[in-house]
């Protein structure tokens, strides 16, 4: 049996000592990715990942709003003479695809964006989709009111995203 020198006490394993892991980590040199240059690279990579999640959220919301706008207003042109229940069923069929994009967009975006930020982002996208839809598809004349509404939405987006 190996002998223990008298001047050294037998220590219990690190998992039995409360601060042992912290002292072991303090003595361990920092990995390369935590050095100044490596940390900057890690932050750049994290920004790219966050940008990718933001873009996925935005693109899914754009697709969702295309379906939503058509489901809400497209029947006013295409099913004008059909009974209301046919328009409802057709709108629900289109709305399914809206939800198939909206739900993943919100699930991807929530946590990276606050709930308020997601909602304002959706409103900005909804207006950006609705105005061309109403002008091109519904053949309505452009109105100056669209500009004022857009400025209000842009102001809302500024206030909800300024703390980010």
Determine, yes or no, domain membership for 132.
yes
d(CA 81, CA 58): 35
**Mean pLDDT, residues 140-153:** 90
What confidence tens digit (pLDDT) does each residue in 73-123 have?
A: 999 999 999 999 999 999 999 999 999 999 999 999 998 888 988 999 999
- How many domains, the chain? 1
pTM of the model: 0.66
Determine, yes or no, domain membership for 150.
yes
What pLDDT is recorded for position 47?
A: 62
What pLDDT is recorded for position 160?
A: 87
Residue 73: CB atoms within 10 A of its CB come to 15
pLDDT greater than 70 at residue 11 = no
What pLDDT is recorded for position 67?
A: 95
| Cα 139–chain centre separation | 33
- In angstroms, what CA-CA distances link 146 with 120, 128, 153, 155, 158? 17, 10, 10, 14, 18
d(CA 108, CA 45): 18
Strands of 105-155, DSSP E = none
What pLDDT is recorded for position 143?
A: 86
Determine, yes or no, domain membership for 143.
yes
Q: What are phi and psi of 62, to 5 degrees?
A: -60, -50
Please give the DSSP secondary-structure letter assigned to residue 133: I
Please, what is the Cα angle at 128 between 126 and 130, to 5 degrees? 65
What confidence tens digit (pLDDT) does each residue in 38-51 have?
A: 555 555 555 666 67
What pLDDT is recorded for position 51?
A: 72
Determine, yes or no, domain membership for 37.
no
Q: Which of 24-33, 60-69, 146-155 has the highest mean pLDDT?
A: 60-69
Residues 6+ apart with CB under 8 A from 63: 101
Domain around 157:
54-161
């Amino acid at each position: 049996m190996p002998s223990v020198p008298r001047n050294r006490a037998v220590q219990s394993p690190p998992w039995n000592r409360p601060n042992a892991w912290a002292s072991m980590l303090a003595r361990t040199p920092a990995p390369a990715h935590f050095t100044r240059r490596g940390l900057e690279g890690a932050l750049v990579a994290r920004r790219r990942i966050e940008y990718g999640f933001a873009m996925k959220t935005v693109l899914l919301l754009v697709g969702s709003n295309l379906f939503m706008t058509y489901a809400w207003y497209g029947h006013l042109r295409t099913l004008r003479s059909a009974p209301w229940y046919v328009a409802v069923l057709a709108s629900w069929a289109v709305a399914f695809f809206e939800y198939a994009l909206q739900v993943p967009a919100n699930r991807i975006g929530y946590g990276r964006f606050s709930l308020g930020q997601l909602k304002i982002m959706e409103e900005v996208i909804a207006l950006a989709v609705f105005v061309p839809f109403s002008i091109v598809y519904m053949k309505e004349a452009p109105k100056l009111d669209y500009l004022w509404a857009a400025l209000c939405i842009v102001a809302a987006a500024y206030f909800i995203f300024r703390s980010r």
